[in-house]
Structure 1
Amino acid sequence: MEHSDDTRARVTSPQPPTTAATVAYDHEWAGEVRTALRCAAALLALLLCIDGAAGSLTWWRGLLWSALALLLLLVLYPAKVSAGDGWLASRRLLRTRRVHTDLLVAVRPLDGVNQRLVLRDLLGNRVEIDPEVLVRNPALWHRLDDGARHSLVGGTLRCGTTALDRLARRLDRETALAVFRASGLE
């Protein structure tokens, strides 16, 4: 029998509410944006100063140098990576790409001048991220790792466990070095 002075809490939703604390972000993204802006501004200032000192600065040459600085900004502008329960997203200036980490099919490293990690899910979505973002932000790595483990258990992840293991070892190595540096044992 229930009384009106019953102190039991009533559960209104079977799932906990999603809060901002459950989403992990790249904490160094804003600094990278500022660096890209500084580089573009420095290039523009340098080109305008050189052209002005030579006496050949006109409005259309200034417009050309501004366009060149804007192009540099677009090239250097970093992707903002975020992750939550079962997903990872990479947002550029014009487009956001999202992959379901609990439905991963392949994780493939792309080597070259700029290392990338390509994630593909069962739904055909594809995301390219810089592995350094995962190394600098352990919360992002843990979200990706949890989703990849679900994919592995579910049998969808067929290619890429070696790349994930290599990245996990690198992350463990970086964490251990940070602990040694902090404790003065380096």
Structure 2
Amino acid sequence: MSATRLLAHAENREWAGSARSALGVAALLPLLLIGVDAAGGQSSPRRALLWIALGLLLLSVLWPTRVRAAPGLLTTHGLLRERHVRTDLLASVDLLAGISPRLLLVDIEGNRLEIDPRVFVSDPPLWYLVNQGIRTSVSRGTIPGGRQSLQRLSHFADGENVRLIFKSSGLL
């Protein structure tokens, strides 16, 4: 059986843990604030609702994006919306530098997806499917300068993997 057949789809494995952490923090904060109010004699239903609303706002900020990949398709599911891009029909691939690196993918249908490239570093099956899609786009010629974009992205992923190896071995 081929590797592509084995990897019919993949999704980020760290999503469930991140979602549990977001729920825990968002639930714990209002409980602590309500407890502090009660201990200080300031508790009221109105303040409790305020703290619960604050917890829900925090949950909306902390909620992780779920990333799924299938051959030729990358999808992200946020709290309120879903985005997808055809990785086998990409028009551009840009690795945006900054405080937090972002990978911007745009396909020929106009779909646009911006994602943290570290998701792929921590989940090789996702990276494999996205990499295969990008290579298909490069071979079809839909990405102008596609080889350079793919090389920059590969160097980023390789560099992150090297950092993880050095960190786990105690060299960093």
Q: Under TM normalisation by the shorter chain, which class is it?
A: 0.7 to 0.9
Q: 1:54 to 1:114 in 2, by over 3 A?
A: farther
Q: Quick check: 2:84–2:112 contact (8 Å CA) kept in 1?
A: yes
CA distance in 1, matches of 2:53, 2:76: 26
Query: What's the CA shift for 1:53?
Result: 1.9
Query: What's the CA shift for 1:130?
Result: 1.3
1:22-72 deviation per Cα after TM superposition (whole angstroms, max 9, x unaligned):
101101100000111121122112211222222111001101100110010
Q: Quick check: 2:7–2:125 contact (8 Å CA) kept in 1?
A: no
Match of 1:166 in 2: 152
Structure 2, gaps ≥5 residues long: none
Overall identity of the aligned pairs, in %:
44
Query: What's the CA shift for 1:145?
Result: 1.0
Q: CA RMSD in A?
A: 2.7
Match of 1:130 in 2: 116
Structure 1, gaps ≥5 residues long: 1-17
Match of 1:54 in 2: 40
Match of 2:12 in 1: 26
Query: What's the CA shift for 1:175?
Result: 4.0
CA distance in 1, matches of 2:149, 2:109: 21
Is 1:94 aligned with 2:68?
Answer: no
Match of 1:140 in 2: 126
2:143 partner SS: coil
1:105-158 deviation per Cα after TM superposition (whole angstroms, max 9, x unaligned):
112234444432121100011112111111101111111111111111111112
Q: Which structure: larger Rg?
A: 1
Q: 1:171 to 1:48 in 2, by over 3 A?
A: same
